[in-house]
C-alpha cells in the first residue's frame, strides 16, 4: 500500500455520518414550539413523518401555528408543558427546541435510557445527530454541516453553493429515476452479470449526457433511449437518435443578454463623460 493511502486510512475520523434518514410515517416528537421548532417541523414534514409538537399555546411561533393548522394530517399539537417520560411513548425520534437548558438535558437523558435518537438544539454535545443547512430541489438534497462549529457559516455556504446550481437539477434527476425504473423493468433482478451491466450503462449515460439533456426526455423518448442504447449493445445513444432536440438558443440570449450589464455601464459612463464635458459653469 502506498504510504499516503496508509496515512489517510490511519487518520480517518472526527466527522459524523452523512446519511439521508428515511422517516416516512415514523413518529417524531418535538418539544418546544418556537422559531427553531418551526424549522424542525418543516424539515421533518419534508420526510413524511408524523409529528407531535409539545408546547404551551403561548410559546408557539406563528410559523409553527401555521403548520399545526394547515397540516393537521401530519402535525398534532399538545398544548401543555412537558410532563414527564410518558410523553416519549411511541416516539421514534425526539427533538428539543427549548429555552430551558435543564429540561432539554433531562429529556435527552430519558431518550438515552429508551434508545430513542435525540437532537437538542441547545446542547450540541448531547445530540445523536445535527441538523444542517439544506438545499432541496425535488429528489436532490444537499446538506451542509460544519459539525457543530459554525451553523451560520453553514447557511452562508449554502447560499454560495446555490449560485452554482441551475435550479433544474432536481427535474433532471427525477427523469433519471424514471429511466432507471424503466431499465429495471426491462432488465430485472438483483446483482449478477446483468446487474453489473445495468450499472455500467447507467453510469455511462450519466457521464456522457449533460444533466439538462435528461430534462428533455418524456415517456416515449425514454423508451427510445432504452431501444437505441441499452438494447443495442448497451451503448449510449445521442439525443438525435432518440428524437430529442435541444431548444435552440437565439443569438439574443447567447450574445446580447450576457453583455447587457457591461453595455449598460459603458453607456452610463459615456453619458456621464458627455455631461461633464458639455457642462460649462457660469463665470
Ligand X SMILES: C[C@@]1(CC(=O)O)c2cc3[nH]c(cc4nc(cc5[nH]c(cc(n2)[C@H]1CCC(=O)O)[C@@](C)(CC(=O)O)[C@@H]5CCC(=O)O)C(CC(=O)O)=C4CCC(=O)O)c(CCC(=O)O)c3CC(=O)O
Ligand Y SMILES: NC(=O)C1=CN([C@@H]2O[C@H](COP(=O)(O)OP(=O)(O)OC[C@H]3O[C@@H](n4cnc5c(N)ncnc54)[C@H](O)[C@@H]3O)[C@@H](O)[C@H]2O)C=CC1
Q: Which residues are catalytic?
A: 122
Contact residue for ligand Y among 97, 107, 116, 179 (CB under 6 A): 97
Partner in contact with 82, chosen from ligand Y, ligand X, none, beta carbon below 5 to 8 Å by kind: ligand Y
Residue 194 grid cell? 446483468
Partner in contact with 174, chosen from ligand X, ligand Y, none, beta carbon below 5 to 8 Å by kind: none
Restricting to residues 90-149, name those near ligand X by CB under 6 A. Answer: 119, 121-122, 124, 127, 130-133, 145-149
Angle formed by the axes of helices 169-186 and 192-208, nearest 10°:
150
φ, ψ of residue 121 to 5 degrees: the values are -60, -25
User: CA nearest 75: which of 39, 107, 34, 44?
Assistant: 44
Partner in contact with 149, chosen from ligand Y, ligand X, none, beta carbon below 5 to 8 Å by kind: ligand X
Q: Determine, following the binding rule CB under 6 A, whether residue 50 of this chain makes contact with ligand Y.
A: no
Partner in contact with 152, chosen from ligand Y, ligand X, none, beta carbon below 5 to 8 Å by kind: ligand X
Residue 54 grid cell? 409539545
DSSP assigned state of 249: P
Angle formed by the axes of helices 35-46 and 62-70, nearest 10°:
30
The CA-based angle 163-166-167, given to 5 degrees, is 95
Restricting to residues 110-149, name those near ligand Y by CB under 6 A. Answer: 121-122
Question: In 164-256, which residue ranges form alpha helices assigned H by DSSP?
Answer: 169-186, 192-208, 211-215, 219-225, 251
Binding site for ligand Y (CB under 6 A): 31-37, 54-56, 59, 61, 81-82, 97-100, 103, 121-122, 151
Binding site for ligand X (CB under 6 A): 39, 119, 121-122, 124, 127, 130-133, 145-152, 154-155, 158
Amino acid at each position: 500500500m502506498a504510504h499516503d493511502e496508509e496515512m489517510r486510512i490511519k487518520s480517518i475520523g472526527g466527522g459524523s455520518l452523512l446519511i439521508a434518514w428515511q422517516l416516512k410515517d415514523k413518529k417524531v416528537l418535538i418539544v418546544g414550539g418556537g422559531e427553531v421548532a418551526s424549522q424542525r417541523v418543516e424539515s421533518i414534514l419534508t420526510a413524511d413523518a408524523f409529528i407531535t409538537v409539545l408546547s404551551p399555546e403561548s410559546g408557539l411561533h406563528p410559523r409553527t401555528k401555521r403548520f399545526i393548522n394547515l397540516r393537521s394530517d401530519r402535525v398534532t399539537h399538545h398544548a401543555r408543558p412537558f410532563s414527564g417520560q410518558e410523553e416519549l411513548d411511541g416516539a421514534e425520534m425526539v427533538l428539543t427546541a427549548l429555552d430551558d437548558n435543564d429540561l432539554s438535558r433531562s429529556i435527552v437523558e430519558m431518550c438515552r435510557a429508551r434508545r430513542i435518537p435525540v437532537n437538542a438544539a441547545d446542547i450540541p454535545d448531547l445530540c445523536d445527530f445535527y441538523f444542517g443547512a439544506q438545499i432541496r430541489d425535488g429528489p436532490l438534497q444537499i446538506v451542509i454541516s460544519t459539525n457543530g462549529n459554525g451553523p451560520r457559516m453553514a447557511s452562508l455556504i449554502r447560499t454560495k453553493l446555490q449560485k452554482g446550481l441551475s435550479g433544474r437539477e432536481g427535474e433532471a434527476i427525477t427523469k433519471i429515476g424514471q429511466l432507471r425504473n424503466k431499465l429495471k423493468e426491462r432488465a430485472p433482478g438483483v446483482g449478477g452479470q446483468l446487474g453489473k451491466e445495468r450499472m455500467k450503462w447507467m453510469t455511462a449515460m450519466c457521464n456522457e449526457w449533460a444533466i439538462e439533456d435528461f430534462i428533455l426526455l418524456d415517456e416515449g423518448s425514454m423508451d427510445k433511449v432504452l431501444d437505441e442504447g441499452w438494447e443495442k449493445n448497451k451503448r449510449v445513444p445521442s439525443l438525435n437518435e432518440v428524437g430529442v432536440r435541444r431548444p435552440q438558443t437565439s443569438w439574443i440570449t447567447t450574445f446580447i443578454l450576457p453583455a447587457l450589464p457591461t453595455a449598460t455601464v459603458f453607456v452610463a459612463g459615456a453619458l456621464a463623460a458627455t455631461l461633464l464635458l458639455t457642462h460649462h459653469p457660469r463665470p
